[in-house]
Amino acid sequence: MSVVTRDPGLQPERTSLAWGRTMTAMVAASLLFLRWVPTHGWFAGILVLTALAAAMGIYVSQRVRYARSVAGVSRGQVKADVFAVLCTSAVVFVLGGLGIYTVLFLPL
């Protein structure tokens, strides 16, 4: 089932593409963290799994987010998905903190 909108600016599509880029960035980060596993062991695996879980969460919620955005454009008032943005920001903050901890404080 396809959702159609009459939006000359294609706002839902642009937003969907941005979330797709964010998901791709999380997968890329997990691949970079995967390189740390031989050096830092299981702790680096936590970073890999966290980044992959964030990417999976974005992927799973993408269809609902797009449909909600199309409906908002049809009504004339699109609401930002604040929860998704806060969750993604929190994951990035945690990954950054754990990455810094891994590099500075874990023995090689």
Give 15-53 pLDDT, tens digit per residue: 899 999 999 999 999 999 999 999 999 999 999 999 999
pLDDT at residue 69, as a whole number: 87
Mean pLDDT (whole number) for 82-96: 96
- The angle that helices 42-75 and 82-105 make with each other, rounded to 10 degrees, is 160
Q: Among the ranges 12-21, 53-62, 98-107, which has the highest mean pLDDT value?
A: 53-62
**Residue 71 above 80 pLDDT?**
yes
Q: How far apart are CA 68 and CA 65, in angstroms?
A: 5
- 13-29: buried (b, 16+ CB within 10 Å) or exposed (e) per residue? eebbeebeebbeebeeb
pTM of the predicted structure, to 2 decimals: 0.84
What pLDDT score does 17 carry? 93
Q: Residue 47: which residues within 8 A CB-CB, separation 6 or more?
A: 30, 33, 36, 95, 98, 99, 102
Do 99 and 33 meet the contact criterion of CB atoms below 8 Å apart? yes
Residues 77-88: tens digit of each pLDDT: 888 889 999 999
| pLDDT confidence band for 2 (50 / 70 / 90) | low
Mean of pLDDT values over 7-22? 84
Q: What is the predicted pLDDT for the residue at 60? A: 96
Domains in the chain: boundaries = 11-105
